[in-house]
Every structure is written in C-alpha cells, then in structure tokens.
C-alpha cells in the first residue's frame, strides 16, 4: 500500500514538471513568432505572425492557472521531501515568468502592427543580434528546465549583461537619430519599446534559470549569490538533446544551446 502511495506521489510531481515543460514550449513558440515578426516587420510573409501570437496568449494563461492549481494541490498534501518542496516553489515562480514572457510577446506583436503603418521605418542595426541573444537565453533556460541542468541554467545568467549592452547601444543610437530627424521620432519610439520588451524577456529567462538552479541544486543564486559554488561540469550523457525546445530546430541552429552536457 505504501509503495502504491509513493508511486502516486511521484506521478503527481512528474505531472507538474510536464505541465511546466508544455507551458514553456507554448511560450517559446509565441516568443519566436513575435521575434520573427519584429525582425521582418515589413515582409509580407510575416503578416500573420502577430495574429498567431495573440491566439496563443489565452492558452498560456490557462496553462498558468492549471499549473498553479496543481502546485497548490500538492502543497495541501503536506508531506514532501526537500527536492519536492523546491520543485513546487520553483514551479509557482517559473509559471509567472513564463506568463510574463507570453505577455511581452503580445506587446512585441503590437509594435509590429504599429510599425507596418509607418512609412520609412527602419530596423536598428543591432536589433537582430539582440533578438537572437534573447532567443538563445530563452532556449537555454527551457533546455535547463527539461533536463534539470544547473550548468545550462548558469549559462543563461552569464548572457544577461550582453542583452543589456545591446539595449543601451540601440536606444542611444535611436535617440541620436531622433534628435537629428523629427520624422524618425514615431518609429524610433516603437523600436525603443521593442528593445525594452526584448530586455524584459531576457530578465524573465534569467529568473527562470535562477529558479531551476534552486530546484535542482538547492542554491539561491539571485543577485549573484552562490554562483561560485556551482560545479564546473555536470555528469554527462551524449545524444539526449536532439530537440530540446523549438529553438533546437535547424531554423535556429546558430543559437541552439549546447546540450552535450546533461545530468544523468
């Protein structure tokens, strides 16, 4: 009887993880569509992407509610190990960050719609590499979630400063051009907003990575704490990362996270 109860508990916690992974995939899909749309806002081939992002938002919201309800149900059981407690706490925080990424994807889609109505709008030079850096951070954080890999999560934390530097340079250049040509003010403001949206996605990816490290290793690395005690390399296994997330596909092979190092 005790063995059956233990099996039921394991299934409940595995279900929570599977819910998280499912939500993460949908959020990444919405984000990718928004990034593709802003990168080619004037291309007729991306015309339908903002609408697809809008359609995914209700699904993301429903999944957030489902995960929260499942996590609360587990808490009410009142008997769990330290690992299980950390999983429940981390899941409640991760779903919030995932939902916010979904909201920001909607905001980006709205910027695309606005930019399409503005004649002469020109994409900032460094917006594309910034978007790819953000895409990579989200992909790595979701890969860390799927494989419970603290090392991959730590790599996400190291990338946040790069995105911030892109943000600062893009906004500085946009402000300079806007002061020189008043016609660039309106599209420039849309791109400034888009740049801030990208930076916020990176922040949420960082939060997710921190929560994964807390779940897997029991370390609180927020605000730079505890990072030095992470191991240099986790136990490895080969060939288990053929398709971690949507960004693992060949379409985004230039920013695919390295999955050669996985926990066994």
Q: What is the pLDDT of residues 22-58, one digit of tens each?
A: 999 999 999 999 999 999 998 999 999 999 999 999 9
Integer Cα distance of 146 and 22 in angstroms = 10
Q: What residue segments make up the domains of the chain, in order of their start?
A: 2-249
Q: What percent of the chain has pLDDT over 70?
A: 81
Q: What percent of the chain has pLDDT over 90?
A: 68
Q: Exposed, middle or buried, 18 (CB in 10 Å: 0-12/13-18/19+)?
A: exposed
- To 5 degrees, how large is the angle CA 114–CA 32–CA 214? 120
Confidence at residue 59, expressed as pLDDT on a 0 to 100 scale? 97
Confidence at residue 4, expressed as pLDDT on a 0 to 100 scale? 44
Burial string for 234-246 (b: 16+ CB within 10 Å, else e) reads: beeeeeebeebbb
Q: What is the pLDDT of residues 61-82, one digit of tens each?
A: 999 999 999 999 998 887 778 8
Confidence at residue 77, expressed as pLDDT on a 0 to 100 scale? 82
Confidence at residue 250, expressed as pLDDT on a 0 to 100 scale? 34
Q: Read off the DSSP letter of residue 245.
A: S
Q: Is the pLDDT of residue 256 over 70?
A: no
Does pTM surpass 0.75? yes
Question: CATH second-level architecture of 2-249?
Answer: Up-down Bundle (1.20)
Confidence at residue 94, expressed as pLDDT on a 0 to 100 scale? 97
Confidence at residue 11, expressed as pLDDT on a 0 to 100 scale? 86
Q: What is the pLDDT of residues 203-244, one digit of tens each?
A: 999 999 999 999 999 888 887 765 655 554 444 333 334 334
């Amino acid at each position: 009887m005790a063995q059956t109860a233990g099996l039921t508990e394991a299934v409940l916690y595995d279900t929570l993880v599977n819910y998280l992974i499912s939500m993460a995939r949908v959020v990444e899909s919405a984000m990718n569509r928004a990034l593709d749309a802003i990168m080619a806002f004037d291309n007729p081939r991306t015309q339908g992407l903002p609408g697809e992002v809008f359609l995914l938002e209700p699904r993301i919201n429903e999944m957030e509610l489902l995960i929260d309800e499942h996590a609360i149900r587990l808490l009410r059981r009142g008997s769990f190990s330290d690992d299980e407690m950390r999983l429940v706490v981390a899941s409640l925080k991760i779903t919030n960050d995932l939902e916010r990424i979904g909201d920001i994807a909607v905001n980006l889609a709205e910027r695309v719609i606005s930019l399409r109505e503005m004649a002469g709008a020109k994409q900032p030079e460094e917006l594309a590499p910034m978007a790819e850096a953000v895409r990579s951070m989200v992909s790595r954080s979701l890969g860390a979630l799927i494989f419970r890999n603290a090392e991959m999560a730590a790599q996400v934390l190291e990338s946040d400063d790069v995105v911030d530097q892109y943000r600062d340079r893009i906004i500085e250049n946009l402000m300079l051009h806007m002061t020189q040509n008043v016609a660039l003010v309106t599209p420039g403001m849309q791109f400034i907003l888009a740049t801030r949206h990208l930076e916020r996605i990176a922040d949420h990816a960082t939060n997710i990575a921190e929560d994964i490290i807390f779940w897997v290793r029991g370390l609180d690395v927020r605000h730079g704490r505890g990072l030095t005690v992470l191991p240099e390399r986790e136990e490895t296994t080969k060939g288990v990362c053929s398709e971690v997330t949507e960004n693992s596909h060949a379409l985004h092979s230039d920013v695919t996270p390295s999955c050669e190092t996985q926990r066994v």
